[in-house]
A and B are shown apart, each in its own frame.
Chain A
Amino acid sequence: MATQSKTANIKTADSQTTTIALRRPGQDSTRNAIILGIGLLIALAAPYVLYPVFVMKVLCFALFACAFNLLIGFAGLLSFGHAAFFGGAAYITAHSAKVWGLGPEVSILLGMGFSALLGLAFGALAIRRQGIYFAMITLALSQMVFFMALQLKFTGGEDGIQAVPRGHLFGVIDLNNSLSMYYFVLAVFLVGFAVVWRAVHSPFGQVLKAIRENEPRAVSLGYRTERYKLLAFVLSASLAGLAGGTKALVFQLASLTDVTWQMSGEVVLMTLLGGMGTLLGPVVGAAIVVTLESYLAATSMPVPVVIGAIFVVCVLVFRRGIVGELQARFGRR
């Protein structure tokens, strides 16, 4: 009897959540559309106002941060090794474009495929432990990738792979033109962002959130949480690879910087600063961090100290991040 009433209670609670969840998109859709529309306009106009390579860098890192956020924000998994997917894909893309002479779209897809496989391997290992161990395992595994990139022949060691040709998109559009390149990068970003949006707003995304909130309960409801976590990990790794491969073509360079633990930390910071678990947060965070870094590069201020200080401040007093804070203020979840 007691169990029955409990089940009933849970059911009511669930159905309430569902009603709320169903009502929300309706209320928010106009506002979302407006925000997205403005964002899109800014993105379309940006290369005429700002230095295109800079905006492309922002977009690549924004996609990278969105991919990372899919794990931490929606599945509650803190990966401290996402640089392995970002930088790994950059190497594969650069190698395919330069040595094998493949087109940009194929090169990027190859890089992304590599990251997906790497993500499958790392994810399968890392999801065997939870919480803090998950972070340490991903960090250690990505450090392994760093050492391999340092020692393998094709990565060029300290020099990296330089002078990567951007090539012609689908054999037609010349990407050496910085505007064409820009709109290509924007398209890549939008596709990646749409994938994240779709994943978060799907039943799959709901299960991820359930795992984040209470994994034992998700298990007791009959979900095989390992599979969901692994799928989220692979998806996140692939998107990080998409960002990394694109970045390799933008800068025509794949280097060790992209696979260091500092890079993994940077993407954590972007997401934290922008707002974990919000869709736009990582984009905002990436834009701020990239801008800040290019500004600091011109001064004599030590970049890691500033980055570290922002980290500390965010963790201590600003855990919701910018977008999270705005949403909390304007009463939106």
Chain B
Amino acid sequence: MNNSLINQTFKITKNENRPALLTYTVAGDYTKKKSLEILKSISKYADICELGFPHNTPIADGGQIQTSAYRAIKNGIKINDVFSIVNQFKKLKKNKPIILMGYYNMIYQFNENKFIKKCQQSKVDGLIVVDLPFPENKKFAMKCKKKNINFIQLISPTTSDKRLKQIIKSSHDMIYYISMLSTTGGKLKVSPKKILREYSKIKKQNGSKNVVIGFGITEKTINSLKKADGLVVGSEICKEITNSIKKRQNAVTNVTNVVKRLKNKIK
């Protein structure tokens, strides 16, 4: 998938000598319309947008993303709405990569093949399935590849060396390194130096893979990890939506400002 939009994006950011900024928001948070507005607005600063399809039993997500997911579900988001958000977004920004992220049960209920087909139709660039690890994901990853959709593997500090090699070998254009033992939104409890050391282990195996780091990345910590190919910020953005609603402020503006500040820190 050399020509993938994801690869092209990393080429650009590498030329600019900076990491790619990846944002994570939940589709339908806090309404279908608003989540599209937020996505459009933050994509001015974000290089790649991850969009979560919300599940009500998210076993790897911390409080902030859980709150966003419950809010979106309560406001009636359905899988087909998620695809329609992507579709509308892509019509305006066809060169901005979109990665869908979620839990396997929703894909399973929707039907794997149908799900991938829908991804293709709405021009989804990549997929992250939190609870479908290697090697269980082999078949599904293959199906994605056939349709030119990047299946993005995760690697964590607990991943053994043997698994690391296997995962990298079976990965597509991008790999997601989980910075620490935590759910999303945890406080960064490992030193950036140590995280980057683990990160280099992956890069050494195969330098051509784009490796992003996520979990615990905030305005405070993002600068210390900017050697990475890309950095993912999720919970901090979801938190900003929650706070804006509480304060009855414009979430679109507030969230955009957060993303803008994040971008400035890694330029």
* A-B complex is real: no
Partner-A contacts on B (CB < 8 A): none
Partner-B contacts on A (CB < 8 A): none
